[in-house]
Structure 1
Amino acid sequence: MGIREAEQFVQLVRDHPEESVFAGGCSEADVAEAEQRLGATFPESYKLFLRELGDCDVAGEELFGIVHCDGQMLGAVAETLDLRESVGLPFSLVAFRPDGMGGYFVLDTSRADSDGEAPVYAWGSGASSPTEPEYIGTDFGTVALDLVRHGLRDV
C-alpha cells in the first residue's frame, strides 16, 4: 500500500487543475536535503508526492511538501522544524498537513513498515493528547488520496 494510492492522488490533482495549486516537482537532491535537515527517511509514497507535485492545495486540502522561497526550504521542512522548536514535536515525526484544530497530520518515520511506509497520526490539539497521537492511516498515499477525494466531493 502507499505507492499506488500516491500515484492515484497525484493523477487526481492533475485531473482537477481548476481546484488544484501545486508547486511543481522537486529533484532527488531536494528530497535528500529535506531528509537530511529533518534527520528522517521519508516513505516512498511521500517522496513520490514531493517529486511529482512538491507541495499542494486541492479543494482546500493543504499538503506540505517542499517549496523554495528566497533561498529557504519551506513547507514540511520549515513547519516540522518550527514545531520541534516551539512545541516539542518529536524528532521522528514529520508534519505535512494542518488538521484544522491547531494540530497536524504527521508521518511517524520511527514506525515505518517493511516497505518503508510510515503511518500517519494527528498530533497536537486535535489528537487525544500530544504524547499519544491519534492514528489516521497506514501511509501518506492512502491518507492523501482519501483527503483529496473528500475535498473534491465538496466542490
Structure 2
Amino acid sequence: MGIAEAEQFVRLVRDHPEESVFAGGCSEVDIAEAERRLGVAFPESYKLFLRELGDCDMAGDEFYGIVRREGQLLGAVTETLDLRGSAGLPAHLVAFRPDGMGGYFVLDTRRVNPDGEAPVYVWGSGGNSPAELGYVGADFGTVALELALSE
C-alpha cells in the first residue's frame, strides 16, 4: 500500500496537463540532501513522488516536493524548516501540503511501518493546538491520490 497509489497519483498529474503543473523529477542526490537537512528519512511513496514529479500543483493545490533553484532546495524543505522555526512544527514531521484551514498535511517520519511508509496527519488545523495531530491516512501515496481525486 502506498507505492501503487503514488504511481496512480503521478499518472493522474501527468495525464491532466490542463489542471496540473509539475517541476520534473528530482535526483537521488537532492532527495538525500533534503533528508539530511530535515533530519528525517522520507517514506517510499513520497520518494517516488519526488523522483517522478519533484513538486506539483494539481487543480490549484500544491503538493510540496523538492525543487532546486539557484543552489537551494525549495518546497517541502523550506516550508518544513519555516514551520519548525515559526510555528513549532516537531522535527519528525514533514509538511507536504496546506490543508486550506491554516494547517498542513504532514508525514510522521517517526512512525514508519515495515513497508517504509509513514502515516499522514493534519497538524495545526482550524484553530486546534499545533501539538494536536488529526490522522488522515496510512501513507503519502494513498492520501495524495485521495486529495487529488476529491478536487
* Alignment TM class, shorter chain as reference: over 0.9
CA contact (8 A) 1:95 1:106 kept: yes
Structure 2, unaligned stretches of length 5 or more?
none
Alpha-carbon distance, 1:69 to partner: 1.9
- Over the aligned positions, Cα root-mean-square deviation in angstroms equals 1.0
Q: How do 1:90-129 residues align onto structure 2 when only pairs under 5 Å count? A: 90-126=90-126, 128-129=128-129
Aligned partner of 1:147 in structure 2 is 147
CA distance in 1, matches of 2:11, 2:131: 35
Provide the residue aligned with 1:16 in structure 2.
16
TM-score by length of 2: 0.96
Which residue number in structure 1 is paired with residue 58 of structure 2? 58
- Corresponding residue of 1:27: 27
The 3-state SS of whatever aligns with 1:94 is strand
User: After superposition, what is the alpha-carbon deviation per residue over 1:44-89, rounded to whole angstroms, capped at 9, x for unaligned?
Assistant: 0000000000000011221000012222111000000011111110
Residue 84 of structure 1 aligns to a residue whose secondary structure is helix
Q: Greater helix percent: which structure?
A: 1
- Distance in 2, Cα, partners of 1:126 & 1:111: 24
Distance 1:127 1:41 in 2: 29
Contact in 1 for aligned 2:120/2:140 (Cα 8 Å)? yes
| Alignment-derived partner of residue 5 in structure 1 | 5
TM-score of the aligned structures, taking structure 1 as reference length? 0.94
**Structure 2 equivalent of residue 81 of structure 1:** 81
Given that residues 88 and 130 in structure 2 are in contact (C-alpha distance below 8 angstroms), is that contact kept between their aligned partners in structure 1?
no
Deviations 1:118-144 (A, max 9, x none): 000000133743212100111000000
Structure 1: segments with no counterpart, 5+ residues: none
Provide the secondary structure at the position in 2 that maps to 1:111.
coil
| Number of residue-to-residue matches in the alignment | 151
Residues 127 and 54 of structure 1, relative CA distance in 2, 3 Å threshold: farther
Q: Deviations over 1:12-47 (max 9, x none)?
A: 111101111000000000100000000000000000
- Residue 56 of structure 2 corresponds to residue 37 of structure 1: no
Counterpart Cα distance in 2 of 1:19 and 1:136: 24
Verify the 8 A CA contact 1:61 1:147 in the aligned structure 2.
Answer: no
